[in-house]
Structure 1
């Protein structure tokens, strides 16, 4: 959109100015030759403007429809390439091909409709201009017969009219091109005028304890504003403690993590860090002190070391080695290029477990005061999980929030928060919740026993 808008402005501004100046100058000469014919010629403008307004209103809708169809086609192609393994494993190549062909056919139909409307409009304008010239010839002939005008002046007037007709036609076509870029310009300016809903302050204290407090937090996504994902959620994470979030899928655990990372602002309630709202903290400072490791690690197409140090300015070698040790990235020793090994696009050259350990090292190299682990051990074997857990215990002052389903990880937490249907239904230690025999007990019996059986076998 930005490139289309810039090309339109660069190419058309010069032509626009030249055509406007030429049109005004030639029209002045036409008035001097015969003001009656000039007035008759001027009647062409109101009709042209009226027709153009009707045309532009309809044509702009067609331009917008073509762009939306192109975006949809790109989405189909992008998803097919990104999920190529799923496509191959389900034998859905033909289906994806049909979807893409269908999207291309929709683009073709919209473009044919758009171009047909434009061709019809230009044909109408050509016929109308021809009719005006015939009318002027007839009226000029009558003026010559009455002696009010000479034949030479009529020829000069017609030549001027033909010249001005070319410039007017250029202005009309130029306006059509500007209409096509108007949709792009509107999107560009919308992005430029966009104001983020998540605000940041300038608070950056030298020392951060890591005390987190959810105070009556309620939240709903903008796509479903009437559906509350969280409702009056309140819990406290004291400095240096481990808090586990558990619950059924869709209960609100991931939303709690997103709010703590300050990706969204709650509709009501507040989240405090060391007694201050999250929005008071400086953006870069906050994300250095509050780190997250997700279930699906996000890596970049560069070396392992650059992925670990991503977003961190010149970490020392000691800090780097400590983060590597905590994440148990021992597999690097078997690689020919070591830490300089390229991970490929989205980390495609590594296994899921290896990517997960790099993501943990990237979080730990910041030495955050609050660490969020969102199902990070789900792709690790028992040995690597235990080694990472031991590495994490080195930071006893670090506050940790864990979203996990494995029994051992949950049992060791200082407190367990059970989120059910967007509300805190239970709270306590593993033994306390097991004695209650509530939701946590049922989840443990249904989900955690499977892990116990596998580890025993």
Structure 2
């Protein structure tokens, strides 16, 4: 930092010297006879010195940075003189490079827009020039013909400037829209590639905030400010040419404004960039709190928790407000300085220019033109300063967006195996597993099991034993810590992902439907947009056949539009039993070889459960089935039952053998029957004292007496 400070101080001193030479130097371009050095030599020396200080600063910084990376010549106790290039700097470079790559496809459009902007900037620079000439023709060199002709030229220039300004703005708007679409698409594609663990550890509100608010900020701010920035930069360059023509002395005095504004912008931009990232993070947290409450409004309302939800949201907004307050204070100080500096330069310019007019070294019209140039230059520089701060805010938001786009999934890519024959032999060999969010908590410890083709194997056991984790490993949502999950003797990771999901179908406990028709919900993942060849997309007959097997066809046809009825967001217009049967049809239409049932009836009432169970019983005989059992009827019909407890297979056998063994399974059955008795007495107990009520964790789910529940819901 010391090296950088010394170099910057030297550069400012050289600029001050240039201003003094402009004020006090004689009108002598080349060296004179009396030892006068001449303006050309003096300014050449100043410019050379400036370039040397820039080169020295970059060389010194690079040398010290390399010395630090090399260990300081072996002296570990030496203190670094310059901060290392840290992760934030690397992220900034990566962000800028990615943004440039997104814009590169619009290069022809941007070139045309830039050329139109250059012509418009030339017109903006000609307006003050002709204005000064009009004043001279009207007051000093009075000439009516020249006065009229110059006024006409001014109108033509103004009209042409307006046309090219509109062309530039329209083209940049098109480029902004294309950039917006491109970055949103890239972010969504990147999110689709991430592993399941990413979505369990990252809040949905944060992801949606990045996809909506941050991408809008990035695209709008960058494209809009690119438009303004290029226009202002071109305008400043054009104006400086005309300023030198009007008065080189005044131009050099005015030019000192540029490096000062750049220095202030650099300091403020670094501060604003970090603050903008913090603001975006806090806004994402507030969105997460809001989405969590709004998406679960029935639960919030049923527990009268509106006030706590409001308080949590207001707390996040308060933190967001405090950061915005810091942002506002920093911006106020920045605006104060950037507003005062141009006005101070205007006063100096008027003072020096007035003296030149009084000395007959400059005409009044030229001074008016020059002051208009200065005003135009100030406007351009102020716009550049605003663009710089806006870019800093956009890059703060872009860092998070680009970080997600560039994030590589922590799971290896699946293979491309698509075997022509597949029997559905499922095996787990010495599988150990811990969730990435809880690496120290072992969920499965050395589990081995085998499900032969056409066999129905049920997993039962206490909550948290690891039953659902086995299904997630088969689906390759996660990878085992050790061991192998195999299908037909091959690791599941060797198979093509789309092929695997078509041959290994999952029916979850809480199926999710989408805001589309019933038909498209059944076909979910099997449409042309999913990469399925048109001839392999299931026909309407196949869809209806799958719905009949799932006992769903009758209630679907009873709907107003049949299979074209919209299910609403998350299937809100359907009952739990209807959604479950559509989910079963969605699995069956794939004609899978292996069927995974993760407590597919546990959340249903008795009537809905009976209908769904009938569908399951009818279809399980045709598949290799691994079922997490929640109903006794499902367990009783299984070929084998495995009791999973504490990440281990505690018992296995048929329903009859395990029920008579007196082990863990037998205890679960006896406890379930006792729960049924306790549930039956609940109404009577409720009318009297609450003392004899059974605890909530002993109440059985709503079910008929013929198929009581074996275990509570297993979140894992």
- TM-score under structure 1 normalisation? 0.86
Is 359-368 or 323-332 further displaced after alignment?
A: 323-332
* Residues 577 and 612, structure 2, Cα contact 8 Å, conserved in 1: no
Structure 2: state its 5+ residue gaps.
Answer: 1-213, 528-536, 679-703, 709-716
Seen in structure 2, the aligned counterparts of structure 1 residues 357 and 380 have a Cα distance that, compared at 3 Å, is: farther
Of 586, 592, 601 in structure 2, the residue corresponding to residue 377 of structure 1 is 601
Name the residue aligned to 2:309: 96
Indicate the residue corresponding to 1:63 in structure 2: 276
Q: Report how far residue 400 of structure 1 moved.
A: 0.7
Q: Secondary structure at the match of 2:457?
A: strand
Decide whether the 8 Å contact of 1:325 with 1:391 is kept in 2: no
- Tell whether the 8 Å contact from 1:243 to 1:413 is kept in structure 2 after alignment: yes
1:417 matched to 2:642? The reply is: yes
Q: 1:337 to 1:448 in 2, by over 3 A?
A: farther
| One of 355, 361, 364 as aligned partner of 2:588 | 364
Query: Partner of 1:18 in structure 2?
Result: 231
Query: Contact conserved, 2:505 with 2:595, CA < 8 A, in 1?
Result: yes
**Per-residue displacement from partner, 1:405-439 (whole Å, max 9, x unpaired)?**
22222233223333333344444444454465444
Contact 1:293 1:372 in 2 (8 A): yes
One of 381, 391, 403 as aligned partner of 1:190: 403
In the other structure, the counterpart of 2:340 is: 127
1:369 shift after superposition: 0.6
Greater length-normalized contact order (CA 8 Å, ≥ 6 residues apart) = 1
Which of residues 516, 536, 548 in structure 2 aligns to 1:325? 548
- Alignment RMSD: 3.2
SS class of match (1:207): coil
Contact 2:594 2:625 in 1 (8 A): yes
Question: Deviation per CA, 1:330-372, whole angstroms, max 9, x where unpaired?
Answer: 4345445443443332222222112111111111111111111
Task: Tell me, yes or no, if the aligned pair for 1:290 and 1:368 is still in contact at 8 Å.
Answer: yes
Match of 2:630 in 1: 405
Distance 2:548 2:243 in 1: 87
Q: Residues 192-216 of structure 1: CA distance to partner in whole angstroms, max 9, x if unpaired?
A: 3233334222211222111112223
Aligned to 1:212: 426
Distance 1:417-1:168 versus aligned 2 partners, 3 A rule: same
TM-score by length of 2: 0.57
Q: Secondary structure at the match of 1:302?
A: coil
Distance 2:545 2:615 in 1: 12
**1:311-350 residue pairs with structure 2 within 5 A?**
311-313=525-527, 314-316=537-539, 318-329=541-552, 330-332=554-556, 334-350=558-574
CA contact (8 A) 1:140 1:149 kept: no
Instruction: Using the TM superposition, give the Cα deviation of residue 35 of structure 1 relative to its aligned residue in structure 2, in angstroms.
Output: 5.5
Correspondences of 1:210-249 after superposition (within 5 Å): 210-249=424-463
The secondary structure found in structure 2 opposite 1:248 is coil
Deviations 1:281-323 (A, max 9, x none): 1222111111111111111223333322333354245533442
Deviates more, 1:418-427 or 1:374-383: 418-427
Task: Indicate the residue corresponding to 2:377 in structure 1.
Answer: 164
Q: Report if the CA contact (8 A) 1:407-1:448 is conserved.
A: no
Whichever of the two has the greater Rg, that structure is 2
Report the Cα distance in structure 1 between the residues aligned to 2:621 and 2:632, rounded to whole angstroms: 21
Structure 1 residue 174 and structure 2 residue 424: aligned?
A: no
Task: Label 1:333 to 1:380 Cα distance change in 2 as closer, same or farther (>3 A).
Answer: farther
Change (3 A) 1:439 1:56: farther
Q: Distance in 2 between matches of 1:240 and 1:452?
A: 37
Quick one: distance in 2 between partners of 1:45 and 1:417?
Answer: 77
Instruction: Tell me whether 1:455 sits opposite 2:705 in the alignment.
Output: yes
SS at match of 1:325: helix
Distance in structure 2 (CA, Å) of the matches to 1:271 and 1:374: 18
Mean CA deviation greater in 366-375 or 192-201: 192-201
Contact 1:217 1:268 in 2 (8 A): yes
Residues 393 and 254 of structure 1: CA distance in aligned 2, closer, same or farther (over 3 Å): closer
CA 1:33/1:343 → structure 2, altered by over 3 Å: closer, same or farther? closer
- When residues 202 and 94 of structure 1 are mapped into structure 2, their CA distance, relative to the original with a 3 A threshold, is same
Q: Which moved more, 1:272-281 or 1:185-194?
A: 185-194
CA deviation map 1:34-75 (0-9, x unaligned): 656544444444433332222222212332233233333333
Alignment of 1:29-68 (within 5 A): 29-31=242-244, 38-68=251-281
Change (3 A) 1:441 1:128: farther
Offset, 1:128: 2.7
Judge conservation of contact 1:308–1:359 (CA < 8 Å) in 2: yes
For residues 355-405 of structure 1, give each alpha carbon's deviation from its aligned partner in whole angstroms, at most 9, with x where no partner exists: 11111111111111111111112115263255224312441xx11111122
Q: CA contact under 8 A between 1:372 and 1:402: conserved in structure 2? A: yes
Query: Structure 1 residues 403-412 or 325-334, which shifts more?
Result: 325-334
Are the equivalent residues in 1 in contact too, given 2:456–2:620 (CA < 8 A)? no
Match of 2:36 in 1: none
Q: Which consecutive residues of structure 1, in runs of 5 or more, have no partner in the other structure?
A: none
Could you tell me how far apart the structure 2 residues matched to 1:255 and 1:448 are? 27
Alpha-carbon contact 1:203-1:282 (below 8 Å) kept = yes
| Partner in structure 1 of residue 665 of structure 2 | 440
State the secondary structure of the residue aligned to 2:417.
Answer: coil
1:269 aligned partner = 483
Q: State whether residues 407 and 452 of structure 1, in contact with CA within 8 Å, keep that contact through their aligned partners in structure 2.
A: no
Q: Is the 8 A contact 1:246 1:416 kept in 2?
A: yes
Does the aligned pair in 1 maintain the 2:459–2:626 contact within 8 Å? yes
Aligned residues: 454
